[in-house]
Amino acid sequence: MKLSKTEEELMNHLWNQEKAIMKDLLGVYPAPKPATTTIATLLKRMADKGFVAYTLVGNSREYYPLVQKKDYFSKHVNGLIKSFFNDSASQFASFFTKETDLSKEELEELKAIIDVELKKK
């Protein structure tokens, strides 16, 4: 299951904070802040999708992620590779390295990461 763009933004805040009550989540948004009811609706939808849960702390709900950021984005990227690059990681890598504005240093970093992974295999 996928998150909407606004749900993903809220989920990023929750991943960063690990646990948060409504006030904490509202506090990270710049002005004009979203309405409390908007955040509550997003959190309910995210809970219904199985991305977040909460525990009661006094009269407040303390929300926490049920899905790790790495797992969510890994599934997201793998879906992208499958849908747009014929399930070919090398086609994706070729597109990524040619069509993005990576510096020489960033390309060297990617190469080093690949070299490390090759040594593990």
Q: What is the mean pLDDT of residues 103-116?
A: 90
pTM of this prediction?
0.75
Percent of the chain past pLDDT 70, that is, above it, reads 100
For residue 35, the model assigns a pLDDT of: 94
Cα 114 from Cα 98, distance rounded (Å):
17
For residue 3, the model assigns a pLDDT of: 92
Which listed CATH number (1.10.10.10, 3.40.50.1950, 3.40.50.720, 1.10.1060.10) goes with 5-65?
Answer: 1.10.10.10
92: its two tokens: 């994706």
Cα 49 from Cα 71, distance rounded (Å):
15
